[in-house]
Chain A
Amino acid sequence: MSLAKVTQVKGLALAVPGDDIDTDRIIPARFLRCVTFDDLGQHAFRDERTGPDGKESNHPMNSPQAARIAAAKQGVMVVGFNFGCGSSREHAPQSIWRFGFTALVGGSFAEIFFGNSTTLGVPCVTLSKDDLADCDAFVRAHPDVEVTVDVEKLVVTAGAKSWKASIAASARDGLVHGKWDPIADLLDGASAVDQTAGSLAYVVGK
């Protein structure tokens, strides 16, 4: 399986503020009523975007900026801390990705969300608290300036600005080498897997 090398992601950016944004907010449970991920993009942050009265809120995902990112099918979402906590639903990163975002920049990410995103080839990089605030402010003030998430050099740049970024070494390695989906490597280990299985009493049925 050959996958694209994700060394750099460049695109317009959208700030979606708030800490502890859980996956129920990213994609409410009623959109889990499906057997494919295909239609999820349009529902990302649905209940934040549409009020109980059916009216559109002023959530950033309703902004013209979000529409530009959706049209371009590439863009950077700038989020807060502990983003993607809660449910393991892959529907959450799937909806963000299918909406058009190809990288996320935040303070921290919940582990399962991070892993799910990486497996889609969507890097989630973190900045220090102060840098994140600076990046967030810059992005809001300069909607037309493209943001570059450099996974290889571990830096986020926009205009004259640049912020030092971090990402788990294994995720970085997978992304830049085009091995962000681990299935090929896992399949490669098949005979070693059988050996491990054979050494486990509960697996061999003892």
Chain B
Amino acid sequence: MAKTLFQKVWEAHTVRKLPNGQTQLFIGTHLIHEVTSPQAFGMLRDLGLKVKYPQRTFATVDHIVPTNELKEPYSDPIAQEMIEALRKNTKDFGIRFFDTNTGTQGIVHMVGPEQGITQPGTTIACGDSHTATHGAFGAIAFGIGTTQVRDVLATQTLALSPLKVRRIEVNGQLAPGVYAKDVILHIIRVLGVNGGIGYAYEYAGSTFDGFSLEERMTVCNMSIEGGARCGYVNPDQKTFDYIKGKPYAPKAAGWDAAVARWQSFASDPGCAYDDVVKFDAAAIRPTVTWGITPGQAVFIDEKMPALETLNAADRATAEDAYKHMKLSPDTPIKGTKVDVCFLGSCTNGRISDLREAAKYLKGRKVSPTVKAIVVPGSQLTAIQAVHEGLDKVFTEAGFEWRGAGCSMCLAMNPDKLVGDQLCASSSNRNFKGRQGSQTGRTVLMSPIMVIAAAITGQVADAREVFKV
């Protein structure tokens, strides 16, 4: 019988049926970070349990790590304490830790792929909702809570129920100035922030075939913003080329067998899906959010929706959103004044994002009314960017160049909005208060749109600013 990748990976990792009807699913790769793991280690100790497969858990620090001071002890004692806790936990239990002094630390969803830990046909769990990022490699990857982090540490398994699979096909060529970020913002806008509940999203079609692994990661990353706990792209030659030679990739002798195995996990032609949705790539335009959920988005050259045009269920959230954002229905979002620009995060903090942004930023200046920061997602990305001279392009234009981490994506470190500042952000969440100020406002967009906003001091159409 023809099967989807999801079904094949699920079957290969099924340990047994649990008494309550759920599946005990083997988690091949477990990623942990400093925020959602300390309590899990605490529970483990309370129960007197060990880590069952310490070599299958990998740790790094990203959420709280300061990006503006690189020497320890950090001036934030809590950050220091949380990092020390992870050092102790990984040491006590024999877990590999990509620590700050290794040159390999970074946002957990960047470290996995960079190290070749993220592989097709595997199951990956992490106490972080953006774990679907790893689905770009054809892995079934999902976010879990802290008690489940404990479960994986203690048993290398989770109690789960299978998901339905929705194939999201995007076909055709994106217009100039339109990026993977616009594709996923558009998908969420159309299918809704809860449209994916109960589903895994399989992203497919010629647009995805043409995407690099980094572009696929940008899309898979935001699956959870559409309610889907996991999202993936079937593995292909590009996937294998990306993994080849990475530190944890299969070595020469095992490589061919690994590739054959990986290929066998791809969805079979003619397999059945629970749902199929199709999009035309050419119809997607640069997309920005105007509200407080990632689904509240418009094309940059559209007006924000008039309240009457929304259905009753969406109207209350929209009214709340307009009030919080200090924006008016039925007006253009283009031209809205921007105070802060943030380029980074596990959605768009990779080297290709920095290169594309620098390409348009080169020789231009950040508006004097804008504070702009660029935060490479990982130390490897930062090192590569410096090697290519990108850091200079950013600093000469007026951006602050930072160390690796999550930074202003969730503002657990000192990078925060102040008051009702409006931030043009390449991250993934525009929730109220997300960027560290209760009244702060976030407009999500692609990296090149962030650059356009930084230069003009307003929400701008990058296609006009850069004449693309």
Residue A160 at the chain B interface, CB threshold 8 Å: no
Contacts of B433 in A (CB 8 A): 24-25, 28, 47
Shortest B81–chain A CB gap in Å is 7
Cβ A186 vs Cβ B24 within 8 A? yes
* Complex interface: chain A residues within 8 A of B193 (CB): 20, 82, 85
Q: Does A90 contact B (CB under 8 A)?
A: yes
Shortest beta-carbon distance, B416 to chain A, in Å? 9
Do A35 and B161 touch across chains, with their CB atoms under 8 A apart? no
B147 and A116 contacting across the interface, CB-CB below 8 Å: yes
- Contacts of A203 on B, CB cut-off 8 Å? 26, 28, 53, 56
- Residues on the A chain within 8 Å of B64, using CB: 33
Q: In whole angstroms, how far apart are the Cα atoms of A170 and B19 in the complex?
A: 9
A116 touches B21 (CB 8 A): no
Closest to B196 in A: A111
The segment from B148-156, B270-278, B365-373 found at the interface with A is B148-156
Kindly state the separation between the CA atoms of A33 and B221 in the bound complex, as whole angstroms.
Answer: 24
* A197 proximal to B (CB < 8 A): yes
Contacts of B225 in A (CB 8 A): 86
* Contact across chains for B38 and A35 when beta carbons are under 8 A apart: yes
B63 close to A (CB within 8 Å): yes
Which residues 29-63 of B sit at the A interface, judged by CB distance below 8 A? Answer: 35-36, 38-39, 42, 47, 49, 52-53, 56, 63
Decide if A187 touches B320 in the complex (CB within 8 Å). no
Q: Is the CB of B194 within 8 A of A20?
A: yes
CB pair B155–A186 under 8 Å, yes or no, is yes
* Chain A positions within 8 Å of B161 at CB level: 168, 170
Interface residue? A154 (CB, 8 A): no
CB within 8 Å of A: which of B375-394?
A: none
**B119 proximal to A (CB < 8 A):** yes
* 8 Å CB contact of B24 from A91, A112, A185: A185
The 0/1 profile, CB within 8 Å of A marked 1, for residues 64-85 of chain B is 1000000000000011011001
The answer to whether B19 and A115 touch across the interface, beta carbons within 8 angstroms, is no
A33 touches B147 (CB 8 A): no
A72 CB, nearest partner CB in chain B, Å: 25
Q: Which of B28, B39, B144 is the one whose CB lies under 8 Å from A37?
A: B39
Known: A19-B316, A85-B227, A112-B229. A179 touches B197 (CB 8 A): no
B313 touching A81 by the CB < 8 A rule? Answer: yes
B144 touches A33 (CB 8 A): no
* A116 contacts B145, C-beta separation under 8 Å: yes
**B20 and A179 within 8 A (CB):** yes
Q: Min CB distance, B427 to chain A, in Å?
A: 12
Q: Mark A17-41, 1 if CB is under 8 A from B, else 0.
A: 0111010110011101111110000
B186 to chain A minimum Cβ distance, whole angstroms, is 18
> Are the C-beta atoms of B53 and A197 separated by less than 8 Å?
yes
Using Cβ atoms and an 8 Å threshold, which residues of chain B touch A168? 161
* Contact residues of B between 105 and 146, Cβ < 8 Å to A: 119, 121-122, 127-129, 143-146
> In whole angstroms, what is the CA distance A28 to B316 when docked?
22
Nearest CB to that of A183 among chain B residues? B151
Q: Is the CB of B317 within 8 A of A19?
A: yes
Q: Which chain B positions have C-beta within 8 A of A120?
A: 147
* Listed stretches A59-67, A136-144, A145-153, A188-196; interface member: A188-196
Q: Which residues of A sit under 8 angstroms from B187, Cβ to Cβ?
A: none
Q: Does B254 contact A (CB under 8 A)?
A: yes
- The reply to whether the CB of B364 lies closer than 8 angstroms to some CB of chain A is no
B322 close to A (CB within 8 Å) = no
Asked whether B13 lies within 8 Å of A18 as measured between CB atoms, the reply is no
**A192, B156: Cα distance in complex, Å:** 11
Please determine whether B254 and A206 come into contact, CB atoms closer than 8 angstroms.
Answer: yes
Partner of A35 from B82, B158, B293 at Cβ < 8 Å: B82
Contacts of B229 in A (CB 8 A): 111-112
Selected from A28, A90, A206, the residue in CB contact (under 8 A) with B250 is A206
Known A-B contacts A36-B39, A88-B127; the reply to A173 vs B316 at CB < 8 A is: no
Residue A128 CB within 8 A of the other chain: no
| Listed residue (B13, B146, B436) with the most chain A CB atoms within 10 angstroms of its CB | B146
Question: Is B412 within 8 A of A33, CB to CB?
Answer: yes
Q: Does A131 contact B (CB under 8 A)?
A: no
For residue A159, CB closer than 8 A to chain B, the reply is: no
Q: Considering only CB atoms, which chain B residue lies closest to A37 in the complex?
A: B39
Q: Are A185 and B28 in contact (CB under 8 A)?
A: no
Chain A hits for B317, CB < 8 A: 18-20
Task: State whether A108 touches B20 (Cβ < 8 A).
Answer: no
Q: Is the CB of A197 within 8 A of B194?
A: no
Chain B residue nearest to A25 in the complex (CB) = B432
Contact A202 B18 (CB under 8 A): no
Q: Are B147 and A90 neighbours in the complex by a CB distance under 8 Å? A: yes
B272 vs chain A, min Cβ distance (A): 22
Decide: B148 and A85 in contact? CB cutoff 8 A.
Answer: no
CB distance from A202 to the nearest CB of B (A): 6
Interface pair B412/A32, CB less than 8 Å apart? yes
What does the 1/0 interface line of A66-85 toward B look like (CB < 8 Å)? Answer: 00000000000000011001
**A179–B19 CB distance below 8 A:** yes
Cβ of B431: which chain A residues have Cβ within 8 Å of it? 22, 24-25, 86
The 3 closest A-B pairs by CB, nearest first: A116-B145, A90-B145, A182-B159
28 A-B contact pairs sorted by A residue (CB < 8 Å): A18-B316, A20-B317, A22-B431, A24-B410, A29-B412, A33-B64, A34-B78, A35-B85, A47-B432, A82-B194, A85-B193, A86-B225, A89-B146, A90-B36, A110-B197, A111-B227, A112-B129, A112-B143, A116-B146, A170-B22, A173-B21, A182-B20, A185-B18, A186-B24, A189-B18, A200-B26, A201-B254, A202-B122
Beyond A22-B293, A110-B197, A116-B147, 8 additional pairs, beta carbon < 8 A: A30-B436, A36-B42, A85-B193, A112-B129, A115-B148, A170-B22, A182-B20, A193-B157
- Residues of A participating in the B interface, judged by any CB pair closer than 8 Å: 18-20, 22, 24-25, 28-30, 32-37, 47, 51-52, 81-82, 85-91, 93, 108, 110-112, 115-116, 119-120, 168-170, 173-174, 177, 179, 181-183, 185-187, 189-190, 192-193, 195-197, 199-203, 206
